[in-house]
Amino acid sequence: MLVLERRHRSIRAGAFVALLAAAILPHAVFAGPEEDRLDFVGYFQSRFPNVPFDEFANGIYAIDEDARTQWLEIEEFPPYEFAIERGEALWQTPFSNSSTYADCYDWPLGEIRAAYPKFDAARGEVVTLDLSINHCLVANGETPLAYNSSEMIDLTAYLAWVARGQKIDVRVPDDEPGSLAAYEEGKRFYYSKRGQLNLACADCHVTSVGMYVRADHLSASLGHPTHFPVYRSKLGRMISMHERFYGCVRDVRARPFDLQSLEYRNLEYFLAYMSNGLTINGPGARK
């Protein structure tokens, strides 16, 4: 394996090597997604033994009591309610060919959010909820939405709202090798240091979880995917998960990738898999 790895110096080779390893090495050496997840959950549970598993869906508010109190007050009447309302109206507006968004999906309304991100075998790549909305628009002859547009965020806010209570249930099917490669790409991204600050996502949200970054506590990676899109009090508007990725990558002083880029979709795929079993509670409110 070492020899192999030396030959494949390029970045993308990493996933390939992992795949190869999966094929030739016994299970114990190569950790599959489910082994990864159990290790991941176990780590956070040992770091925060008093936080029940389900609580991780509340992000930083699971581990920061002071911030939690203020968050609960905002949740009394959360500003994202406007987005849900607008999203519902958009969802129900038929396209010019009189089809609707609902016609694009194989699931009842409340189950659409939980069906993503998924590996789309036909397309050979990870499809997120946001991307699926644009696929739907294009298939119906409509103009796709910008991923940071109010319309896109409102639609995803509505779909998260009606999915509340559903569990995250991301799959990396064994019979679809492309899905494992996508998962591995997302995992590699998460653990790779990048940018001028030389920080990996995991450096802050795994290794240093709960510690201070300036005056804030670092939130746990486990549970991050449950609540997007979120209303950012600081911005006075809602952002998607990929805008958060964009902000994190920029904050470590690396050049961010585009929203819904393959890099971010694979990252979302990995992260959502790590949070399997947690309850969808979006849209959320964050500072």
For the annotated catalytic residues, the residue numbers are 248
Q: Provide the minimum distance between the beta carbon of 43 and another protein in the complex, in angstroms, as a whole number.
A: 5
Comparing CB distances to another protein, the nearer of 114 and 229 is 229
Q: Provide the minimum distance between the beta carbon of 111 and another protein in the complex, in angstroms, as a whole number.
A: 25
Comparing CB distances to another protein, the nearer of 17 and 104 is 17
Q: Provide the minimum distance between the beta carbon of 256 and another protein in the complex, in angstroms, as a whole number.
A: 8
CA distance 144 to 147: 9
CA distance 169 to 163: 12
CA distance 126 to 265: 6
DSSP state of 149: S
| Amino acid occupying residue 53 | F
Comparing CB distances to another protein, the nearer of 119 and 231 is 231
| Number of Cβ atoms within 10 Å of the Cβ of 242 | 26
CA distance 141 to 15: 36
Comparing CB distances to another protein, the nearer of 89 and 146 is 89
Q: Provide the minimum distance between the beta carbon of 87 and another protein in the complex, in angstroms, as a whole number.
A: 10
CA distance 87 to 110: 14
Comparing CB distances to another protein, the nearer of 140 and 261 is 261
Burial of 66 (C-beta count, 10 Å sphere; 0-12/13-18/19+): exposed
CA distance 13 to 108: 39
DSSP state of 99: -
**Up-side HSE of residue 75: CA atoms within 13 Å toward CB?**
16
**180-to-86, 171, 186, 244, 270 alpha-carbon distances in Å:** 36, 10, 10, 24, 10
Comparing CB distances to another protein, the nearer of 138 and 146 is 146
Are 83 and 229 spatial neighbours (Cβ–Cβ below 8 Å)?
A: yes
Residues that bind another protein (CB under 8 A): 5, 9-11, 13-14, 31, 36, 39-40, 42-43, 60, 66-67, 69-71, 73-74, 76-79, 81-82, 85-86, 89, 187-188, 191-196, 198, 200, 202-204, 206-207, 212-219, 233-234, 236, 247-248, 250-251, 253-257, 263, 286-287
